[in-house]
Amino acid sequence: MSVLILALLAGGVIGLALGALGGGGSVLAVPALIYLLGFSAAAATTASLVIVTVTSATALTAHAREGAVRWRGGALFAAAGLVPAALGGAVAGHLPSGLLTAAFAVVAALAAVRMLRPSATVPDAAPPRPGLIAGTGAGLGAVTGVLGVGGGFLAVPALVGVVGLRMRAAVGTSLLVITVNSLAALAARAGTAESLDWSVVAPFAGAAILGAWDGRRLAAKVSGGMLQRIFACVLLAVALFMMVDAVV
């Protein structure tokens, strides 16, 4: 199978997951780029940031039109992650491929386990604390910068539990946070982005954008819980495979 077809198929599947689940699909971009398309770990995390940025920015406009983005809380959360995302992006290029792969596998496994656990109901009584919001946003920015993931699987529960947003608003606002953090991390990797194989990255990103629109329609027809469990099982299997590969 040609590289172009693989890029289109992988991008479509990842976009479909993003559109259906509202976050988490981009965590599959890095393993797809490494194991299907032959990218190194460092190049895959950079390419993933490109794909995540354009897909999230496109989805953000749709959620903003629906009034599902909380700009003030999202801006504070995103601003706190700017410097950590840029620093993480700069550091990632100097880390060994094995370490990057292992770290990514751990984060992916944690994301899968969280998706398989029942969602907890967050009380509305406690007002959000700016210090806690900033600290959480900084941590998410660092993860985005180093590992090249959008972090929607981390941002959505953080925006619900820390900022106090309802789920629908958290999903839309997470796209603002993801876009800002990914752009900051990309800016720190500007030199490495020039060496990417854009004949693969561009169709991958295009297919992800189109897949995200189909994913939103799929979510209206299939149980969200079922989709999330299927995706979590796939993600856990990928994480275990990457961990074994990093160790061996």
* DSSP characters over 123-165: PS-SPPPHHHHHHHHHHHHHHHHHH----HHHHHHHIIIII--
Q: What is the pLDDT along the chain (248 residues), one digit of tens a residue?
A: 688 898 999 888 888 777 666 566 667 888 889 888 989 888 888 888 888 888 888 878 878 888 888 898 888 888 998 898 888 888 877 888 788 888 878 887 887 787 777 654 444 445 567 778 888 888 888 888 887 776 666 777 778 777 878 777 887 888 888 888 888 888 887 766 667 889 999 999 999 888 877 776 766 676 666 767 777 787 788 888 888 877 76
Whose tokens are 């940031």? That residue is 49
| pLDDT value, residue 125 | 42
- CA-nearest of 115, 129, 143 to 234 is 115
- CA-nearest of 99, 21, 135, 176 to 91 is 99
pTM: 0.77
Q: Would you state the structure tokens that stand for residue 128, as one six-digit string?
A: 């959000």
Task: Tell me how far apart the alpha carbons of residues 126 and 164 are, in angstroms, rounded to a whole number.
Answer: 8
Task: State the first-to-last Cα distance of the chain, in angstroms, to the nearest integer.
Answer: 27
